[in-house]
Amino acid sequence: MSAHKHKEHLEKIKDAIGNTKELDESQKSSSIKLIEEWYVEDKAMGSLKNELVKESIFFETLFSELGLN
């Protein structure tokens, strides 16, 4: 995946996290922080998904809704 597409997906995920009512503010904050760290470190999208699912099962649904399975 190109770096541009990778960043676009991460921004899409961050926006969805910020707008959801499924996560509390602490979960939102820690999830967004994790995404930002992973972007800087350029980690694989699949690994990021696995880490976010550990934060909340909500992310399974979110990735599916965003078409990022």
Question: In the prediction, which pLDDT does 36 show?
Answer: 84
pLDDT at 1 over 60: no
Domain boundaries, the chain: 3-65
Q: Is the pTM of this model over 0.85?
A: no
**pLDDT tens digits, one per residue of 33-42:** 988 887 766 6
CB 15 within 8 A of CB 35: no
- The mean per-residue pLDDT over the stretch 44-65 comes to 85
